[in-house]
């Protein structure tokens, strides 16, 4: 696979940002990510788009207020990932604080499948709710909503996934991606949508003299966790939500469960950054839905007892270690299958579909992400789901909308795909085991139509070089403050360095001393012990190293090549 380093262009309005008081390096970074005005960096809650433009939210608030006033039983039906779990916790905490009688049900990935299915409705009926509220699911649950209506149960769908050809009915729907919704942010996670519904509900309660004392800002650490863990695009609205949640984490005002997730990982939530939500707390929460039952994750997020939260977080940590072991084994086997295909001259594909009958359906999404990163191709990984069916999870590259690709396969091959849904970069589906080969061929045809060979070359985007004196520990500390992530790429710089010294640490990593124009920098290259030449071109991020107590600059190398090789 060819790897090219490309520097992001810096628009002229970077100078205007700097003139408005934004620190020059940050001005360049923000401008190259499309930020043209200082207010687009402002993370105050007042910068959030108003909820009034979200289609269905007024009707949703009316129905929730009626349920609160009448003490009707509300049942929240959650998805089994981190977004679904946090959205469920936000719904329960917010609704209960407003006086609602609310409980939850989360489908089991292995027994129930995804979303509000007729089978889930059958379980719901045993608990006799008057109102179902879906979080992070429901927009494609046409049959499930119809079953609920037949049972006399009202349904409020809160979701962010792309809708299918038919919307579920009869239902109140709040989803910024539904037809006719004018809400400007189309990238809210499910937890963000639920947060907005609560805001509208509290406002209506206040207007009618009800219990509007709930402090919804206290829920923002949960909103931040679900938003980052779901890898949605960090547009301005999402950056505000995440920044506000991080401020509460750092101030020691997190929910007991969120703090416990950090503690069991050996991390201090008071120094949390956005990537900690995605790589520390998120995977531990997700592990419950991947290997067991997300009920334990939701219980961790709704308890106010620190001891109970810590015990539940410890169980999530154990499940996450198990998940890593299962995942590692599947990645090795998947890579072996890819290597065999390459040996047999079948490596000219534009897409990848992988399956073995011993694989675990709870981790196929993570494996697909690993394979997509390694091969830089859209990848779907399947595992048995029972009854002759396979469940697949896919991840995609820029320029290939995965959910739309599945929709095209479905249109061309009616009946080939079972339920499917998702986004541009991630999607899930079900097929019959006997149809795996047929599906792989149909998916590959779409790949060849939509992608060019150049699209399959990996491009590393960087923010270029830093001038002498700019690269120091102070810059590394300042770079920790903004919210970076999906669609708002973390800073990555590149430059040429002399390699003054290197040594192996931990048996698997290389510690380096790099030189550039009279300056010397400590650096580390993780998961590599290969010798480096005397001069390299490196892609790196500046980080704060506190290993010896006082903060020091360390460059973390993410890619290197011999100097002059470009």
Average pLDDT score over residue span 418-426 = 87
Inter-axis angle of helices 282-291 and 256-264, nearest 10: 90
**pLDDT score for 502:** 95
Residues 6 or more apart whose Cβ sits within 8 Å of residue 189: 83, 87, 136, 160, 226, 227, 230, 232, 238
1 pLDDT exceeds 90?
Answer: no
Query: What confidence tier does 211 reach under pLDDT thresholds 50, 70, 90?
Result: confident
Q: Which DSSP helix (H) or strand (E) runs through 379?
A: strand 379-386
HSE-CB of 55 using CA atoms within 13 angstroms: 14
Domains 3-41+460-562 and 54-246 share a fold: no
Topology of the domain comprising 54-246: inorganic pyrophosphatase (n-terminal core) (3.90.1640)
User: How far is residue 481 from each of residues 114, 189, 202, 254, 555, measured CA to CA in Å?
Assistant: 36, 22, 31, 18, 17
Give the mean model confidence (pLDDT) for residues 189-196. Answer: 98
Looking at domain 348-456, its CATH architecture is Roll (3.10)
DSSP letters spanning 123-183: HHHTT--SEEEEES--TT-HHHHHHHHHTT-EEEEE--SPP-SS--SS-EEE-TTSTT---
CA 191, 196, 202: angle at the middle one, nearest 5? 125
The CA dihedral of 165, 168, 174, 178, to the nearest 10 degrees, is: 10
The pLDDT of residue 419: 86
Work out the average pLDDT over 145-160. 97
In sequence order, which ranges of 376-418 are alpha helices (DSSP H)? Answer: 402-412
131-135/154-158 β-pairing: parallel
| Rounded Cα gap, residues 320 and 524, in angstroms | 26
Taking alpha carbons only, the member of 352, 343, 344, 295 closest to residue 319 is 295
229 vs 86: CA distance, rounded Å: 10
* 335, two tokens: 């890579």
The residues near 36 (Cβ < 8 Å, ≥ 6 apart) are 11, 13, 16, 17
Give the ranges where 380-472 is alpha helix by DSSP (H): 402-412, 436-450
Q: Supply angle C-alpha 252, 258, 262, rounded to 5.
A: 85
CATH label, 3-41+460-562, candidates 2.40.50.460, 2.60.120.620, 3.40.50.2300, 3.40.50.2000 = 2.40.50.460
Identify the three-state secondary structure at position 105. Answer: strand
In tens, the pLDDT along 508-546 reads 999 999 999 999 999 999 999 999 999 999 999 999 988
pLDDT of residue 347: 56
**Structure tokens, 528:** 């590599």
pLDDT tens-digit series, residues 308-362: 999 999 999 999 999 999 999 999 999 999 888 776 544 589 999 999 999 999 9
Q: Rounded mean pLDDT of 435-456?
A: 96
Short-list 177, 110, 120, 114, CA closest to 146: 120
Residue 109: what pLDDT? Answer: 82
Mean pLDDT for 266-278 is: 95
Question: What tokens appear for 368 in the block?
Answer: 């697909």
Nearest Cα to Cα of residue 516 among 494, 539, 495, 533: 495
556: Cα within 13 Å, side-chain hemisphere: 12
Question: What is the mean predicted confidence (pLDDT) over 277-288?
Answer: 95
Residues of the chain by 3-state class (helix, strand, coil), percent to 5: 45, 20, 35
Inter-axis angle of helices 220-229 and 236-250, to 10 degrees? 120
Using the structure block, give the residue that is written with the tokens 């001069």.
535
DSSP H/E element including 500: strand 493-505
461 DSSP β-pair partners: 6
Q: Measured between alpha carbons, how far is 300 from 94 in angstroms, rounded to an integer?
A: 16
Sequence-ordered list of residues with C-beta below 8 angstroms from that of 114, at least 6 positions apart, any chain: 79, 80, 107, 137, 419, 421, 428
The closest alpha carbon to 114, from 294, 314, 368, 285, belongs to 294
Q: Where are the domains of the chain?
A: 3-41+460-562, 54-246, 348-456
Residues present in the chain in total: 566
Query: Kind and range of the H or E element at 67?
Result: helix 57-70
DSSP 466: P
**pLDDT for position 381:** 97
- The angle subtended at Cα 238 by Cα 235 and Cα 243, nearest 5°, is 120
Q: Which two tokens stand for residue 87?
A: 């959205």
Interval 232-249 mean pLDDT:
97
């Amino acid at each position: 696979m060819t790897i090219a380093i490309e520097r992001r262009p810096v628009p002229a309005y970077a100078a205007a940002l700097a003139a408005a008081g934004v620190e020059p390096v940050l001005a360049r970074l923000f401008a190259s990510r499309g930020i043209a005005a200082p207010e687009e960096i402002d993370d105050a809650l007042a910068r959030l788009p108003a909820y009034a433009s979200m289609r269905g939210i007024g009707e949703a608030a009316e129905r929730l207020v009626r349920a609160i006033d009448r003490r009707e039983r509300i049942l929240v039906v959650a998805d089994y990932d981190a977004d679904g779990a946090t959205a469920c916790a936000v719904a329960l905490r917010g609704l209960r604080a407003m006086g609602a009688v609310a409980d939850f049900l989360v489908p089991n990935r292995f027994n129930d499948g995804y979303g509000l299915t007729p089978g889930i409705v059958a379980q719901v009926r045993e608990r006799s709710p008057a109102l179902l509220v879906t979080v992070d699911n429901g927009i494609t649950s046409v049959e499930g909503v119809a079953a609920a209506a037949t049972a006399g149960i009202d349904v409020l769908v809160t979701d962010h996934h792309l809708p299918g050809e038919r919307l579920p009915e009869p239902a109140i729907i709040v989803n910024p991606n539904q037809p006719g919704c004018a809400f400007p942010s189309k990238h809210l996670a499910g937890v963000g949508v639920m947060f907005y519904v609560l805001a509208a509900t509290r406002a209506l309660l206040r207007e009618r003299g009800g219990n509007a004392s709930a402090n919804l800002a206290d829920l923002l650490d949960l909103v931040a966790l679900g938003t980052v863990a779901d890898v949605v695009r960090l547009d301005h609205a999402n950056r505000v939500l995440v920044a506000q949640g991080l401020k509460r984490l750092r101030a020691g005002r997190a929910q007991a469960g969120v703090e416990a997730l950090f503690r069991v990982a050996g991390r201090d939530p008071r120094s949390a950054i956005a990537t900690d939500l995605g790589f520390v707390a998120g995977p531990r929460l997700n592990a419950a839905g991947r290997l067991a039952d997300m009920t334990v994750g939701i219980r961790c997020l709704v308890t106010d007892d620190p001891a109970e939260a810590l015990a539940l977080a410890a169980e999530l940590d154990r499940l996450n270690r198990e998940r890593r072991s299962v995942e590692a084994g599947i990645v090795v086997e998947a890579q072996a299958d890819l290597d065999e295909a390459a040996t047999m001259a079948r490596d000219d594909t534009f897409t990848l579909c992988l399956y073995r009958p011993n694989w675990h359906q709870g981790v196929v999404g993570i494996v697909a992400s690993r394979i997509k990163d390694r091969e830089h191709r859209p990848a779907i990984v399947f595992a048995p789901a029972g009854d002759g069916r396979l469940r697949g999870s896919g991840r995609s590259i820029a320029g290939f909308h995965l959910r739309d690709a599945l929709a095209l396969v479905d249109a061309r091959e009616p009946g080939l795909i079972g339920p499917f849904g998702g986004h541009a970069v991630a999607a899930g589906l079900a097929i019959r085991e006997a149809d795996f080969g047929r599906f792989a061929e149909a998916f590959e045809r779409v790949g060849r139509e939509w992608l060019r060979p150049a699209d399959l070359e990996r491009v590393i985007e960087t923010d270029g070089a830093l001038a002498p004196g700019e690269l120091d520990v102070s810059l590394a500390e300042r770079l920790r403050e903004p919210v970076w992530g999906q669609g708002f790429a973390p800073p990555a710089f590149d430059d040429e360095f002399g390699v003054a010294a290197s040594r192996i640490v931990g048996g698997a990593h290389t510690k380096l001393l790099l030189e550039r124009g009279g300056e010397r920098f400590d650096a580390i290259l993780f998961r590599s012990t290969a010798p480096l030449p005397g001069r390299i071109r490196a892609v790196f991020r500046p980080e704060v190293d506190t290993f010896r107590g006082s903060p020091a600059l360390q460059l973390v190398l993410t890619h290197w090549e011999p100097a002059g090789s470009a």
